[in-house]
């Protein structure tokens, strides 16, 4: 099995409410993008030129929705494989009448690899990715050198990769991995985590972690100019 055949997610047949199903059927053609193995034309899709923030694994999408409302001057792209979450976000976009957000239901690694042109993204957000706590499952973690490499390609110069987790051992894993990247530089002093930036809303999984008494770790790394 090659490392790219190991997925960071398991496709679950989660419960889909009728409203989520209707949103998928009716709103995916409006706010959704089909996966394609070729770079997309962002200017055409958003009908304007604006900095692009991409959230991968947005869950129910509430954090993404609130950032898109708060920052109308940015374009937002959400990537998620879990259908009920995609339906939930689509409904939220329609209810809020937002123009600056698009959604892809597909593996984020492939989206970065194929759909996002080099230097086209200002900020990549990976909030509370599945920690895959068992050692034998660590290979399923989404934050791996190969994934970070395709993110680096997509980031513009001085663009930022922002990861957050409530799983301390995964935070340490990410810190070690990201500090070793030649194209990234931490926005925190060596060996330390960053303060959570004001723009990051509390997510569903963050709230769950806090209820369990977990600390939360933010990692912000900037792309170094060539
Ligand atoms: C633990 S949840 C966190 C959701 C949300 N960010 C939050 O904080 O509430 C992780 C999410 O990442 C999604 N995911 C995992 N691997 C993915 C991938 N390769 N591409 C897209 N989504 C992925 C899962 O479906 C899941 O919804």
Q: What is the mean pLDDT of residues 17-35?
A: 95
124-143 pLDDT, tens digit per residue, is 999 999 999 999 999 999 99
Q: What is the mean pLDDT of residues 192-211?
A: 97
Check: CB of residue 156 under 8 Å from CB of residue 223.
Answer: yes
Q: Is residue 192 part of a domain?
A: yes
* 130 Cα: distance to centroid of ligand 1 (angstroms): 6
> Domain holding 142: CATH number?
3.40.50.150
Q: Is 130 a catalytic residue?
A: yes
pLDDT-derived band at 1, boundaries 50, 70, 90 = very low
* 205 Cα: distance to centroid of ligand 1 (angstroms): 10
Q: Is residue 187 part of a domain?
A: yes
Q: How many domains does the chain have?
A: 1
Check: CB of residue 146 under 8 Å from CB of residue 76.
Answer: no
Q: Is residue 126 part of a domain?
A: yes
Lowest model confidence (mean pLDDT) among 2-16, 46-60, 144-158, 186-200: 2-16
Which residue among 5, 6, 14, 80 has the greatest number of ligand 1 atoms within 8 angstroms of its CB, and so is best to mutate?
A: 80
Q: Is residue 132 part of a domain?
A: yes
Which H, E and C letters describe the chain, residue by residue? CCHHHCCCCCCCCCCCCHHHHHHHHHHHHHHEECCCCCCCCHHHHHCCCCCEEEEECCCCCHHHHHHHHHCCCCEEEEECCCHHHHHHHHHHHHHHCCCCEEEECCCHHHHHHHCCCCCCEEEEEEECCCCCCCHHHHHHCCCCHHHHHHHHHHEEEEEEEEEEECCHHHHHHHHHHHHCCCCEEECCCCCCCECCCCCCCCCHHHHHHHHCCCCCEEEEEEECCC
Q: Is residue 2 part of a domain?
A: no
pLDDT of 11 higher than 80: no
* 176 Cα: distance to centroid of ligand 1 (angstroms): 22
Q: What is the mean pLDDT of residues 60-65?
A: 98
Check: CB of residue 143 under 8 Å from CB of residue 162.
Answer: no
Residue 181: give the domain boundaries: 21-223
Check: CB of residue 148 under 8 Å from CB of residue 219.
Answer: no
* 226 Cα: distance to centroid of ligand 1 (angstroms): 31
Q: Is residue 179 part of a domain?
A: yes
Ligand 1 binding pocket, CB closer than 6 Å: 8-9, 56-59, 79-82, 85, 107-109, 127-130, 142, 203-206
Check: CB of residue 61 under 8 Å from CB of residue 82.
Answer: no
**Stated pTM of the model:** 0.96
Q: Could you identify the atom of ligand 1 that is nearest to the CA of residue 57?
A: 12
What token pair was written down for 212? 């369990």
What token pair was written down for 45? 């899709």
Q: Could you identify the atom of ligand 1 that is nearest to the CA of residue 127?
A: 6
Q: What is the mean pLDDT of residues 1-24?
A: 81
Q: What is the mean pLDDT of residues 152-157?
A: 98
Q: Is residue 127 part of a domain?
A: yes
pLDDT mean across residues, the chain: 95
Phi, psi of 54 (to 5 degrees): -120, 125
pLDDT of 3 higher than 60: no
pLDDT of 226 higher than 80: no
């Amino acid at each position: 099995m090659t490392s790219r055949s190991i997925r960071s997610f398991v496709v679950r047949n989660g419960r889909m409410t009728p409203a989520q199903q209707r949103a998928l059927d009716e709103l995916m053609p409006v706010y959704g993008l089909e996966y394609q193995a070729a770079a997309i034309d962002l200017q055409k899709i958003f009908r304007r030129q604006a900095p692009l923030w991409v959230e991968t694994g947005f869950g129910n999408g509430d954090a993404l929705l609130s950032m898109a409302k708060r920052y109308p001057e940015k374009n937002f792209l959400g990537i998620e494989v879990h259908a009920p979450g995609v339906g939930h976000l689509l409904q939220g976009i329609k209810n809020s009448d937002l123009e600056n957000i698009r959604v892809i239901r597909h593996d984020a690694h492939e989206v970065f690899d194929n759909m996002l042109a080099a230097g086209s993204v200002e900020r990549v957000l990976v909030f509370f990715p599945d920690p895959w706590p068992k050692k034998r499952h660590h290979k399923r973690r989404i934050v791996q050198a190969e994934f970070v490499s395709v993110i680096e390609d997509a980031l513009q110069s001085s663009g930022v990769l922002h990861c957050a987790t409530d799983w301390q051992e995964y935070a340490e894993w990410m810190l070690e991995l990201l500090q070793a990247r030649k194209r990234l530089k931490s926005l925190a002093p060596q060996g330390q985590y960053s303060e959570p930036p004001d723009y990051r809303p509390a997510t569903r999984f963050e709230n769950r972690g806090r209820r369990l008494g977990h600390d939360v770790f933010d990692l912000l790394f900037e792309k170094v100019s060539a």
